[in-house]
Every structure is written in structure tokens, then in C-alpha cells.
Structure 1
Amino acid sequence: MTECKSVKKGKVWLVGAGPSDAGLFTLKGKSVLEQADVVVFDQLVGQGILAMIPRQAKKINVGKISGNHPVPQGEINRILLEEAQAGNRVVRLKGGDPFLFGRGGEELELLCEHGVSFEIIPGITSAISVPAYHGIPVTHRDFCSSVHIITGHTRNAAQADIDYPSLVELKGTLIFLMGVASMPSICKGLMDAGMDPSMPAAVLERGTTARQRRVISDITHLVDEAEKAQVQTPAIIVVGKVCSLAEDFHWAEDRPLGTKKIMVTRPKERSSALTARLQELGAEVLEVPTIETDVILDNTALSEALKNIKNYHWIAFTSPFGVKIFFERLRELRVDIRSLTGLKFAAIGSATQKAIEEIGILVDLVPEIYEGRALGEALSHRVLADEQAAGVKQQILVPRAKIGTDEVVRPLKEAKLNYLDLPVYDTVEAPDHEFRWYDETVDYVAFTSASTVRGFVKLAEGADFSKVQAACIGEQTAQEARKYGMKTYVAPQASIDSLVECILNIQE
């Protein structure tokens, strides 16, 4: 009998990453990216999207910038073919849309020749989205009824062979991609073809990011104005009457955090609430976890505590993650939640309180200050009062991180209370990242614990930490940041809302 062997078939997904803003990345693109074995990416893919690449995926940078193509197109095509033939799920991640001057068609030719499966996932093109982020509608019935997208250069020439007379006759909005270097010849070509020298025009730099800029002028003066502003790539050129609307319609930079780029260092599973609040206020958010939380799998002590849960009077949680692990293990051991009847619950802060109460259990104690020491002190006072009233010693269970601060349990120890300091998860520094995430474009780094600070320092090794503006939850976190010379801002309460308010109040 012949044994049938399964053959691992590879496939390529050609994915448009959009203009840069991670919020403009498509749901399908994100889903495919998160399952990739290999990611081949361009220079123009936004950092926020690069941060979505699975850590275990092989990453191949084939980035090209104007005048510098370190990886020729033919080599890119070969990489895609070889990785797919090796049985991998290959994502070719391209800025904007892969079929709009993105050479997507060229990259498919070799795959077709060899019968490699592929899919196309369109992306939002910068030709539409970048003007929108600057308040420029590419069509408006009072000004024009068509839009035309033109490349500023071609495969074999520094300048594209553009039919300027035809473009002028169309009387529509003209969008020139990859045309900054050709701006003088573009403006001259349009005027030589009969376009009104006072026609509004704009050059839009780094659109959809916190560093986006625009120069609004006319085709006669645009080149000089762009040179004065030292406009650099990536940028697009827009020519048409609609450019005059930017003065009234601009909006992106007007949001409270619309010109700020903020790095969030929380573990991936706990960063969504903070990221959502910052994005709602207009910030460009870069999620780069500097620590990871790992469940302690072979945890005999936790199993024993749960089996004997009736021996305890109080359970004190110091994080939502600890709550999650505790109740998941409770279900795994088939311990009925009704066995918790009569126990009292304490939480270090509002987020932890919410995690407990979502299970259906009301929290009995939350300290006024959301810090470990405050929790320990408040719990000590409450338990001592309970012991005096009942005439019985109380037992306290504290499920928390393996390397949790002693600030929580020190007051319990000083009060000579009976407690079990029970590690249920471990906090470790995130593995080394392959990208340089922190640079001068980051305005603030948000820290929620001392461990996230230490992880960041390792991640950004070699950086000038005196230039880091650190927004910190709690004085203990701020103290850790100050060790490295960071400029610190401390949220008055240890909560996400308070941290966001702290960032809003930072004065330059």
C-alpha cells in the first residue's frame, strides 16, 4: 500500500497597505497579514502596519525610495516565487494599492508562469486618502467632475512622458504620484499646455501621519514654495481648483492629538483600550509591546488554592490579566463559581475592578490611589477590622505576577496578616524586535508599569533617553523612567483615562 504524502502548497497574497495610517488598513489585509509565514514589504508601509506582522514571520525588506532600489524588481519577483514554492503563506505588502503604479501586475507574471496561487487584496490609494486628510476633495461638482491619477516617473525614464495638453483639456483634478522630483517639469508642462498659471496646486507630504504637511499655492509658485518648505518624499502633487478648499476643510491636524505620534508599550492583549482612546483623539499610535505576559502553566500552587478556596476570606487582584487567569483556571478545574460565595474581592484599580465585575462579582474594595502600596494598606485596614469584628483570623489570596512589586504585600506582612502571595503569570521583556521602532518622529511614549520602561530601554538600545517624553501611570513607573533620564509626566490616577488626560495636558 502506497502512503499518501501531503504536500504543503504555498500561496502569495498581494496586499495593499494603504497610505500609512494603520486605521486605513483593510480588515481582510490585516487578517491575511496576521497569518503570514513570510512578509515581503516596501519602504512606504506605515510603522503601525509593520507592527502587525507576526513575530515569528520571516520579514524581507525590499524597500525602494526615489533613486535607490537596493532590491531590483526582478529579484523581488524571484523571492515571492521561491518562498511560495517552499510552501509558505507569503504576503507581499505594498504601500497604497498594489495595482496603482505599484508594479503588482509585474510581480504576478512570474507566479502565473509557475502556477503559483495568489490573491489580490486592494488597498486605499494615497491619491484619494492623502488629499482627504488635508481637506481636499478630489472631486466637487462646483469645481470639477473628474479626477486623473498620473505617475511622475516611469520604468525607464526619470521623468514620465505625460500628454499635458490632453490633461489640461480634461479640466479635472490631477493627482501626480511619485512626482516630487519632477515637480518643476510637471508645473512647466501644464502651463506650456495652456493651463491657467493661477490654477491652485498643492504638494502633500507624509499624508495620514502625525507629521503630514501641505503647501498650497498655484502652479506658477508651487515649486518655489515647496523648496522653501523643504518638502521631501513621500509626497503627492495635486493640481486643480479643489486645492483651494483645504483652507476651510482641513481637519486631521485640528484634532486634540492630531499632530502627535505616541508609542504604546503595553502587552498586546492589554493595549486596545489605550490605543482606541488615543486614536479617537487623532494620535498616530504605534503599538510596540515591550513586555509579554506568560501564564504559568504548571501551577500546582494555584490549583491547590482553588481546590481549597473556601479557606480564604479575601481575594486581591492586581491586574485584569490576573483576573483572567484565575477564572480560566477555575473553569478548567471544574470548580463551581458558587464556591466563591462569601469571599470578598479587592482590586488595585478601575480596570481590574471592571474585569472582576464583568464576571458578575461585585468588588468590595478599591483603593483611592490605584497603586500597589495603597491596595496593600487599604486591604490591611479592612481585614484587621473584619478580624476584630468576627474574632477569627482572615486568609488572603493574592494572585498576581511572579515578579510583582513588594509594595502590595509589604503592608500585609507588617500587619502580620495571613496571606498567600500566589504567582499566576510571569512578566518578561518582549523578544528583540527586528525594526527600529523608536526614533525622532515619536512624540510621547506611554508606560503603564516599570517593566514596560525596562523593556523599552532594551528595545531602544542606543537611543538618547533624555529626549524621551514618558507619560507614566503611577509614580513607581515614573521613577523607573527617570533612572534613564527620561522627561516624565505622571497621570494623577493609575487608569487609562487618567493617562490619556495626562498626555493631553503635556505642554511642549
Structure 2
Amino acid sequence: MTGKVYLIGAGPGDYKLLTLKGKECLEEADVIIYDRLANEDYLRISSSTCECINVGKASSNHTMPQDKINELLAAKAKEGKVVVRLKGGDPYVFGRGGEEGEYLFDRGIPFEVIPGVTSAIGGLCYAGIPITHRECASSFHVITGHLKDGSKDEINWEALASLKGTLVFLMGISNLKKITENLLGAGKVKETPVGLVSWATRYNQSVVIGTLENIYEKALEKGIKPPTMIVIGEVVNLREKLNFFEEKPLFGKQIVVTRTRKQSSQLMEMINDLGGRAIEFPTIEITPIKENTRLKVAIEHLKQYTYLVFTSPNAVEVFFEALEASGKDARVLAHLKIAVIGEATKKALKQKGIVADRMPTKAVAESLADCLKKELTNKDYILLPDSAIAREGLVSSLEAVCKVDEIPLYTTVPVRNVAKGEMSSKELVERLIADEIDYMTFTSSSTVHHLIGRIGQEHIAALAHAKLISIGEITTHTLKTYGLEVYKEAKKATMTDLVDCMEEK
């Protein structure tokens, strides 16, 4: 049975510029065949069994020539697979999507095209340059920058030079000199504003502004390389007012997130939304304790407890999974007073439809113990489901007042493998030493221990090349035991406060 091919536009680079329809197809894909300019973070959307093939093409450096890409698309579809061809920008804007579609049609292979945001529009937007404006540009023209010898005959330079609208050349930086000379030779005014936008919509976006007369010299001076698009016209002058993206507080920053894969999404999204690049480097995995007889017994006898205490979002998730597996729901907790440590745990509990009764002002076990001991009596009985490697202080402090039933729910173990789109330990160390990482975030002592376990004790010194951000005093203490300097510690143990540490005022 023949499968189907989806030609999907990945947009210019910003992760969130992918369409919802494109995301759905990536989730269902058996094979993803992707380009160099497609954001590799999209590969994480796919299933663990999805085959990902890089066929990226740079100027004069093709991982796989186009005819072989066409053959690969057809071959995978003939195997009955759902194939995604993930292309930077839009498939039909100089993306050779039309050629691929024709090739599939001629061989009776079903396909569908899912448009993407083209860099000619979206990329200019992020550079603060509107492709049209009522005052100076009522039209725009997108031209390929891949010029061949004798291209003066292929492109009507006199017609382009006479236009008052915006001219956008894609993939043309290597031909910038020819483009400017041809336009000037055809009568285009030498003072016409020109912008060069590199890596549009990404954390490392850069823009060089000049005129038709001097932009080539400026490009040489700045060492501009692909991928860069050229925009010509009066709209370039609007960048001074409309440049919103490069004003974001984390623009240009590369930040390593060391949480579990499941938990990192919120922090990564916050970093990316603020213009930075979040790099996922998970150090730990949460492993629930199997056949947890003690937990099953506790759930069957919840009436005997007066308090339920959660010390982490993980404890909330594992406990409620066990509660559901037992055929019960939150109603059986109605008689209990529920206490939590930290905003994240409070939020996780609220997502289960329950508002915490108690939460200390500081997100540490000692503060929770002090908070509860003010109201506990020797008649109380606390159920404390937590990590198998939890600190002992909380239990001993509470046991001085009443009975405590501490039940290990899960343990944290080191990450065993590198997932799609993630850096290896070797690459992280190399990038740290090259001063390419601005910040590293740590949200628990476990993330510290296991990060060092992944990179090796011999590479601890490499961490000094980045600014280390800690979620709280316990994590800070752990970092210091390794001789590491903590740049900042979050005021509260929340993702928002963690990000605030990186927003340099």
C-alpha cells in the first residue's frame, strides 16, 4: 500500500511559526526528510520511532542532490509510510516544492502541500522591516538570488529598477555585488536603502543596513554569509521604529536547560518567547517505583490521614496516576488538609482541581515544617509521598510532633541516551569552552549531580565559562560543593523568577 507525502513549510526559523496543520503531520510522520534551514527542534514533535533524514543543502554543498531527494520521497512513500518533507520557509517560494510535487504526481504517489511562513515576509517582519507600507511601498517582488552566468538576460533589471515597490532577493548574498551593479546600471537610485537580514527570526538574527551604493562593502566588512536575504526599498528605513524582535530581553542568548525532558517545556518556551535560544540538555529522568504496595495500601486507607504533603510536581503526578489506577479520584481527598512546597507544586496540584491549603513562603522543606508545626498536634497523621532520594530533614522535623507515613513514589536516574535534536555531552563541553553558552539553569540538586555525571568530573571547569543560574538555596549549595560559582539565585523557586535572573536590566 502506498503511503502519502506532506510537503510542509517550516517557516523561517522561529519554532512557533510552524502551522498547526504542519505540527499535526509531524506528530503522525513515519519519516521526516528535512532541510538545513528547518528548525531541528521540530524533530522532537515526532514519535520516538520516526526516522529523521537530513538532506540539507547549503550553497555549493549539497548533502543530497535534488534528484536523489525526489527518489527518497517516492521510495519511502511506496513503503506505505507517512512521509514529511520539511522545508525552510514555504515549499513553493523557491523551495522546489513544485518540482517534488510533480515528481510524486507522475509516479501516482498522493501528496499534500502545507504552506509555511516565507522568510521574504516573516523574516523581514522580525527585522523590523514591513514588506509593504502605504507611504512608500504598495507592492513587493520576490526574486531568486541564485544568478547564473548570463542572468542579466533572465532577469529584466530595467523593469525591477523602475519599480517603486519592495524588492526581496532570497538566497542571493553570494551574488550581492552582481545584484547591486545590475540595479545601479539599470538606473536604480544609488541612495536606495538596502537591508541584509541573516538567520531571520532566530536568536542570532543580524541585520546590516546600507544603500545600493555601499551595501556590498558593508557586507564584506561584516563578513556576511548565508543564509541572508536582501531587501531593497524605502521600507528598510522603518526598521528604526519597528525593530521589536532584537529588543527582547534574552535576544542573542543561548541558555542550557537541564531539567527532565517532560518538565523542560515551560522554561524553554519562556526563554524562546523572550528572544533567546533554549538548548535542552536533560540530565535526569523520573522513574516511578513499580508495584508500589505501600502506596496502594495508603490510598485504600486515606481516611486515617489528616494531612497530605507534596514536595514536588513529580510527586503530584505520580500520586494522582496511582489514585486513578485504583479507581478513585480527588473526591477521596476531601477530608485532608493538603500542603505543598513551591509554586510549581501548587500549580501541578491545581491542575488536578485542588487548591493547596498550605504553602510556605520559602520553597524549602524547613519552611514547610515550620509552617505546619504551628497547627499540628499529636493526633495528626501525615501522608508524605515523595522522592526516594528526598532529604530526611522534613520527616524527622514533623515526626517530632505527629506520626508521618513517608512513601517513596519515584526516583531520579541519569539520562541514558541522547534524543533527537539534543546535544551530546561532548558538544556541550566544546561549546562551553568556546564561550558559546551564556547561561545554564539548574532546578534541583539532582540536575547538578547528574549534569556533572554526564559531562564527567574532568570537565567541571568548563562550566565556569557560562553563568550558572540556581532555582534556590539547596541547589546553590550543591553547585558550590563542586567549586562552582553561582551567578544568580532565583528569588522564588519558580520558572518566572529563574528567567528573571537572566534578564539583565
Q: TM-score, normalised by structure 1?
A: 0.87
434-443 vs 170-179, greater mean Cα deviation:
434-443
The match for 1:423 among 408, 412, 426 is 408
Q: Distance between the aligned counterparts of 1:428 and 1:111, measured in 2? A: 46
Q: Distance between the aligned counterparts of 2:270 and 2:347, measured in 1? A: 17
1:134 aligns with 2:133: no
Cα 1:290–1:80 shift into 2, 3 Å: farther
> Equivalent residue of 1:420, what SS?
strand
Cα 1:212–1:309 shift into 2, 3 Å: same
> Equivalent residue of 1:137, what SS?
coil
> What is the CA-CA distance between 1:125 and the residue it aligns to?
0.5
8 Å contact 1:152–1:159 — kept in the other structure?
A: no
Question: Runs of 5+ in structure 2 lacking a partner?
Answer: none
1:35 aligns with 2:35: no
Q: Which residue of 2 aligns with 1:352?
A: 345
> Equivalent residue of 1:182, what SS?
helix
> What is the CA-CA distance between 1:229 and the residue it aligns to?
1.6
> What is the CA-CA distance between 1:442 and the residue it aligns to?
4.2
> What is the CA-CA distance between 1:293 and the residue it aligns to?
3.1
> Equivalences for 1:105-504 in 2 at 5 Å?
105-153=98-146, 161-287=154-280, 289-335=282-328, 337-376=330-369, 378-379=371-372, 381-382=373-374, 385-387=376-378, 392=379, 394-412=380-398, 415=400, 418-430=403-415, 431-435=417-421, 437=423, 438=428, 439=431, 441-454=436-449, 456=451, 464-481=462-479, 483=482, 485=484, 488-504=487-503
> What is the CA-CA distance between 1:411 and the residue it aligns to?
3.5
Which amino acid in the other structure matches residue 116 of structure 2? Answer: G
> Equivalent residue of 2:209, what SS?
strand
Which amino acid in the other structure matches residue 386 of structure 1? Answer: T
> What is the CA-CA distance between 1:324 and the residue it aligns to?
2.9
> What is the CA-CA distance between 1:373 and the residue it aligns to?
4.2
> What is the CA-CA distance between 1:211 and the residue it aligns to?
1.5
Q: Distance between the aligned counterparts of 2:455 and 2:169, measured in 1? A: 37
> Equivalent residue of 1:166, what SS?
helix
> What is the CA-CA distance between 1:436 and the residue it aligns to?
5.2
Q: TM-score, normalised by structure 2?
A: 0.88
Q: Distance between the aligned counterparts of 2:359 and 2:413, measured in 1? A: 27
> Equivalent residue of 2:377, what SS?
helix
Q: Which residue of 2 aligns with 1:84?
A: 77
Q: Distance between the aligned counterparts of 1:158 and 1:367, measured in 2? A: 74
Which amino acid in the other structure matches residue 447 of structure 1? Answer: F
8 Å contact 1:264–1:445 — kept in the other structure?
A: yes
Q: Distance between the aligned counterparts of 1:57 and 1:158, measured in 2? A: 44
User: How many aligned residue pairs are there?
Assistant: 490
Q: Distance between the aligned counterparts of 2:307 and 2:111, measured in 1? A: 57
Q: Distance between the aligned counterparts of 1:171 and 1:241, measured in 2? A: 9
> What is the CA-CA distance between 1:212 and the residue it aligns to?
1.2
**CA deviation profile, 1:443-486 (whole Å, cap 9, x unmatched):** 32333223334555566677932223232211333344453847
30-39 vs 221-230, greater mean Cα deviation:
30-39
> What is the CA-CA distance between 1:149 and the residue it aligns to?
0.7
8 Å contact 2:281–2:422 — kept in the other structure?
A: no
**CA deviation profile, 1:72-115 (whole Å, cap 9, x unmatched):** 22222222222222222221111111111112122234322332
Q: Distance between the aligned counterparts of 2:475 and 2:410, measured in 1? A: 20
8 Å contact 1:400–1:423 — kept in the other structure?
A: yes
Q: Which residue of 2 aligns with 1:3?
A: none
Which amino acid in the other structure matches residue 382 of structure 2? Answer: I
199-208 vs 298-307, greater mean Cα deviation:
298-307
**CA deviation profile, 1:162-200 (whole Å, cap 9, x unmatched):** 321121123321111111111111111110111111111
Question: Runs of 5+ in structure 1 lacking a partner?
Answer: 1-6
Which amino acid in the other structure matches residue 314 of structure 1? Answer: Y
8 Å contact 1:26–1:123 — kept in the other structure?
A: yes
Cα 1:274–1:432 shift into 2, 3 Å: closer
Q: Distance between the aligned counterparts of 2:489 and 2:162, measured in 1? A: 59
**CA deviation profile, 1:283-342 (whole Å, cap 9, x unmatched):** 344455443334445332221110011222221101223223323432332336444343
8 Å contact 1:36–1:91 — kept in the other structure?
A: yes
> What is the CA-CA distance between 1:490 and the residue it aligns to?
1.3
Q: Which residue of 2 aligns with 1:13?
A: 6
8 Å contact 1:465–1:484 — kept in the other structure?
A: no
Q: Distance between the aligned counterparts of 1:423 and 1:353, measured in 2? A: 20
8 Å contact 2:41–2:421 — kept in the other structure?
A: no
Which amino acid in the other structure matches residue 473 of structure 2? Answer: E
Which amino acid in the other structure matches residue 474 of structure 1? Answer: G
8 Å contact 2:43–2:52 — kept in the other structure?
A: no
Q: Distance between the aligned counterparts of 1:498 and 1:242, measured in 2? A: 39
Q: Distance between the aligned counterparts of 1:234 and 1:182, measured in 2? A: 13
Q: Which residue of 2 aligns with 1:4?
A: none
> What is the CA-CA distance between 1:253 and the residue it aligns to?
1.3
Q: Distance between the aligned counterparts of 2:65 and 2:421, measured in 1? A: 22
Cα 1:88–1:454 shift into 2, 3 Å: farther
Cα 1:144–1:357 shift into 2, 3 Å: closer
Which amino acid in the other structure matches residue 390 of structure 2? Answer: G
Cα 1:341–1:268 shift into 2, 3 Å: same
**CA deviation profile, 1:109-155 (whole Å, cap 9, x unmatched):** 4322332222111110111111111111111122122111111116x
Cα 1:118–1:410 shift into 2, 3 Å: farther
> What is the CA-CA distance between 1:158 and the residue it aligns to?
11
> What is the CA-CA distance between 1:260 and the residue it aligns to?
2.9
Cα 1:290–1:64 shift into 2, 3 Å: farther
Cα 1:304–1:283 shift into 2, 3 Å: same
8 Å contact 1:322–1:424 — kept in the other structure?
A: yes
